[in-house]
Each structure stands twice: as structure tokens, then as C-alpha cells.
């Protein structure tokens, strides 16, 4: 009798194991495959729209079939001293599996100096004419006596109680970017995303890189591939932005980690 129960337990365990294997094998964890048609235009100009860039790009998923409609341009980075630009395309299937692929184009007439001009706003906001959800402003209401002391003084720029500081807001924005990456994408981390420096400071840009993580390449290899766009003139007070990113050997682009530098 005891042998029978042992045998029965083994059969149940094997059945459960087979069920788990089946469920895992039936999960859709693969993103679409992005391909470029032969003869796709490889010349980039700053007046190109997203529609122009998507021309000749296809996305095919093993389960969902043609998902070309999901294709978008994530961002554009200059490379090779501004002679070329890397266009990062993104496609998504019905299970939200995301694939990114890099496409290199030849920059025409100095267009790599501002490769996102006319295509993607640095703040992620739509350009004029694009549709967007707009929140209507609240109607003005009379405030009770004494309430002014807790409100934001628009002219002074002081933040209201409970509002995030510039450092905290920058940190949160970059963390949100990293969370949206697919598993195969490198992840770029900075020591800080907002820094204030006095006029005349010598800025060591690479010193702000904290870590780079990837599913296949080592951190040391990725450090050699770091690209930084933007510049900081420490001789002139102002607010500047540096964008750090890497592209791994498979063409997967990391998040664009933005460091805001305020020169005072």
C-alpha cells in the first residue's frame, strides 16, 4: 500500500511538472522582429517626420503576425562626430512584448547637431498640431483667509508643500524610463540626475555614470560604448542637459539618462 501511495505521488508530481512546462512554453515572451526593406532611404535631414522615418520599416510577430502599425521612433542620437545618426525604432505585440532596433542614417547638412528637431520634443510633449489629452484648468475659486501662505508664489518660483524638489523629480523621471525598458535593453544609471555647479567648474561627464546593466554584455564593455549628447558651458550661467546612452551588440538601446546641469 505504501508503495502505491509513493507511486501515486510521483505521478502527480510529474503531471504538475509537465503542466508547468506547458504553461511556460505557451507564454508569449518574444517581441516582434523589426526589418528594413531593401532600398530604404539612409539619408537623414532634420525636417524628416516620424512618418518619413518609418517608411520601409516592418514589424512581424510570431503569434500576432504583422504589427507594423505598432512601430514608433523612440529617439534619434548623433554618432561618429555628427556624420551619422542612430534612429531607434520600437515595435510592440499584443502581449506588450517590446523590441527595439537601431538603424544608422547619414546626416545631411549638419542635421545631426539637433537630430530630434521636428520629430520628438525633449519633454515628450506633442508638437503643434499633434493630438494629446489636455487637462482643463480648474475654475478659479475664492481662497479662505490665510490660504495664501501655503500656496506657490508664481513669481518667486518657490515650490508648494509636498512638491518634489528638482533632484527628486529628475530621479523619478529617469526611474520611470528604466521601468519601461524591455528585458533585453541595457539600463543606464547615473549617480544623480540633477546637479548645480559654480561658474568655471571643470565637468567630468563620465564621473556621473553609476552603472550600466545588460542581459548579455558586461558593465566594463558597455562603459566603452557610452555616448553623451549635449554640452555644458560652465563659463556661462544657465541650465544644460546631457543625455547618456549605450547601444549593445544586438542593437538594443538603453534608456537616455538625462543629467540636468545648472551652472550658477
Domain edges within the chain = 33-113, 166-263
**What span, in angstroms and rounded, lies between the C-alpha atoms of 207 and 188?**
13
Instruction: Confirm whether 33-113 and 166-263 share one CATH topology.
Output: yes
pLDDT at residue 225 in the model: 87
pLDDT at residue 59 in the model: 93
**What span, in angstroms and rounded, lies between the C-alpha atoms of 53 and 76?**
11
H-run or E-run covering 28:
none
pLDDT of 35-87, one tens digit each? Answer: 999 889 999 987 888 889 999 999 999 888 999 999 988 878 777 777 888 88
Confirm if 258 and 243 have CB atoms less than 8 A apart: yes
Confirm if 259 and 193 have CB atoms less than 8 A apart: yes
CB-count exposure of residue 117 (10 Å: 0-12, 13-18, 19+): middle
Assigned CATH class of 33-113? mainly beta
Residue 261 pLDDT class (50, 70, 90 cuts)? very high
Cα dihedral 58, 62, 66, 69 sign? negative
**CA geometry: angle 256, 116, 70, nearest 5 deg:** 75
Give the CATH architecture of domain 166-263. Sandwich (2.60)
Residue 150 pLDDT class (50, 70, 90 cuts)? very low
Confirm if 86 and 74 have CB atoms less than 8 A apart: no
Q: What is the CA radius of gyration of the chain?
A: 25
Candidates 122, 73, 123, 80; CA nearest to 102 is: 73
pLDDT of 2-22, one tens digit each? Answer: 666 666 677 777 767 666 555
**What span, in angstroms and rounded, lies between the C-alpha atoms of 153 and 159?**
8
Would you say residue 151 has pLDDT above 70?
Answer: no
pTM: 0.45
Return the residue matching grid coordinates 542620437: 77
Would you say residue 27 has pLDDT above 70?
Answer: no
How much of the chain, in percent, has pLDDT values that exceed 70?
Answer: 70
pLDDT of 163-204, one tens digit each? Answer: 878 888 888 888 888 888 888 889 999 999 999 999 988 888
Return the residue matching grid coordinates 543606464: 188
Locate 256 and state its grid cell. 537616455
Average the pLDDT over 240-244 and give the result.
90
**What span, in angstroms and rounded, lies between the C-alpha atoms of 36 and 89?**
11
Amino acid at each position: 500500500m505504501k508503495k502505491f501511495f509513493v507511486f501515486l505521488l510521483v505521478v502527480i508530481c510529474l503531471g504538475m511538472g509537465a503542466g508547468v512546462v506547458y504553461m511556460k512554453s505557451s507564454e508569449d515572451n518574444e517581441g516582434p522582429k523589426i526589418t528594413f526593406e531593401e532600398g530604404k532611404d539612409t539619408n537623414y535631414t532634420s525636417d524628416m517626420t516620424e512618418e518619413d522615418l518609418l517608411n520601409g520599416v516592418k514589424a512581424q510577430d510570431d503569434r500576432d503576425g504583422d504589427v507594423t502599425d505598432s512601430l514608433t521612433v523612440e529617439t534619434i542620437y548623433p554618432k561618429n562626430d555628427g556624420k551619422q545618426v542612430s534612429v531607434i525604432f520600437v515595435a510592440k505585440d499584443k502581449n506588450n512584448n517590446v523590441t527595439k532596433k537601431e538603424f544608422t542614417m547619414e546626416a545631411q547638412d549638419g542635421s545631426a547637431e539637433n537630430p530630434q528637431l521636428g520629430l520628438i520634443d525633449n519633454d515628450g510633449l506633442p508638437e503643434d498640431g499633434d493630438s494629446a489629452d489636455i487637462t482643463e484648468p480648474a475654475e478659479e475659486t475664492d481662497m479662505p483667509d490665510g490660504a495664501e501662505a501655503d500656496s506657490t508664489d508664481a513669481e518667486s518660483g518657490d515650490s508648494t508643500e509636498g512638491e518634489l524638489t528638482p533632484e527628486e523629480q529628475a530621479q523619478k523621471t529617469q526611474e520611470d524610463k528604466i521601468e519601461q525598458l524591455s528585458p533585453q535593453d541595457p539600463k543606464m544609471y547615473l549617480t544623480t540626475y540633477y546637479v548645480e555647479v559654480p561658474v568655471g567648474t571643470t565637468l567630468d561627464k563620465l564621473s556621473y555614470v553609476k552603472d550600466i546593466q545588460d542581459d548579455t554584455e558586461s558593465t566594463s564593455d558597455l562603459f566603452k560604448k557610452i555616448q553623451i549628447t549635449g554640452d555644458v558651458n560652465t563659463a556661462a550661467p544657465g541650465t544644460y542637459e546631457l543625455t547618456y546612452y549605450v547601444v549593445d551588440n544586438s542593437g538594443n538601446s538603453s534608456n537616455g539618462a538625462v543629467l540636468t546641469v545648472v551652472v550658477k
